[in-house]
Amino acid sequence: MIRPILIHPDPRLKKVCPPVESITDEIRALGRDMLDTMYDAPGVGLAGPQIGVMKRIITMDCTKDPEAAPQPMVLVNPEITWSSDEGSTYEEGCLSIPDQYAEVERPARVRVRWTDLEGQEREQEFDGLWATCVQHEIDHLNGKLFIDHIGPLKRQMITRKMQKLKRDRARDPA
């Protein structure tokens, strides 16, 4: 099921999410809904709070080649256990901040530990767009958006555009 995506500013996008306590059928169904919502958007990642679910769960698929098999991932309670000193800059976007982009520098490689939907502990190193995306999504779980990594003037300009977008959508829902 495709769920509506919250648009910034929204107080739910500023909150720190509590961990998922156990892997249940409800969490597995949530993971499926998040993947459906992410692919439909389309996006390469999605975090629980973006659909108003205040739980530490993210989805990702950063497969670049449209001919290649999809690589859907659902990460529950993801934690960064190591970050490279080397950085990498990527022009990030966000499904909760449509059509706005800004360069953000983050560690180029990270090691992440999480629980999968079978309840197994997993740990893996990510690089390239996968590394950028997993850090962007974990930020969402901590109430942080990519615009919190940029200067205050550009952040304010983007926030004002989003306030207008929300006013316009409320007046004329598509």
List residues with catalytic annotation: 137
DSSP bridge pairs for 47? 58
- Among residues 55 and 136, whose Cβ is nearest to ligand K1U? 136
Question: How far is CA 9 from each of CA 38, 55, 68, 143, rounded to the nearest angstrom?
Answer: 20, 19, 36, 12
Which stretch in 29-37, 91-99, 108-116, 164-172 sits in contact with Zn ion by CB under 5 A? Answer: 91-99
User: Which residue of 74, 94, 108, 147 would you call a contact of Zn ion, by CB under 5 A?
Assistant: 94
- CB contact at 8 A, 57 and 12: no
Enumerate residues 6+ apart whose C-beta is below 8 A from 67: none
- CB contact at 8 A, 92 and 102: yes
| 46 contact, one of ligand K1U, Zn ion, none, CB 5-8 Å limit per kind | ligand K1U
Site for ligand K1U contains 139 (CB under 6 A): no
| 133 contact, one of Zn ion, ligand K1U, none, CB 5-8 Å limit per kind | ligand K1U
Q: Interface residues with ligand K1U (CB under 6 A)? A: 42-47, 90, 92-96, 132-133, 136-137, 140
